[in-house]
Amino acid sequence: MTLQDTFIQAVADSKTLSARPDNNTLLKLYSLYKQATEGDNTEDVPSNPFDIVGKAKHNAWDALKGLSADDAKTQYTNLVNTLKNS
């Protein structure tokens, strides 16, 4: 299996986890997915001061600047596999 195939399987597996991950883990999954599929974050910070979730997502993704797509895919896959096995 290629890295891309493994990543695609991990994305599918993330939708069928037996338990919902905590918010920090969900943010990590989100940011790794975005980094793997879109690269560095170039979006503006949400301007709505009450958009706490949007800002958290933006900041989590922004923190991964410079991480290669392959590394993000690997980390995402490893995290999903850890969640599947816990």
Binned average pLDDT, 10 residues per bin, the chain of 86 residues: 96 96 97 98 94 96 98 98 93
**54 is a domain residue:** yes
63 in a domain, yes or no? Answer: yes
Return the pLDDT at 32.
98
Please give the Cα distance from 49 to 38 (Å, whole number): 25
Q: Please give the Cα distance from 17 to 74 (Å, whole number).
A: 18
- Which range marks the domain in which residue 65 is found? 3-12+20-40+50-84
For residue 64, being part of any structural domain is answered with yes
Q: Answer yes or no: pTM beyond 0.85.
A: yes
Within a domain: 45: no
Contact 77, 6 (CB under 8 A): yes
pLDDT of 86: 85
Whether the Cβ atoms of residue 86 and residue 36 lie closer than 8 Å to each other = no
Under 8 Å between Cβ of 24 and 60: no
pLDDT of residue 19: 93
- The total of structural domains in the chain comes to 1
CATH number at residue 72: 1.20.80.10
Q: Is 60 domain-assigned?
A: yes
Please report where in the chains the tokens 């910070």 appear, as a residue: 45
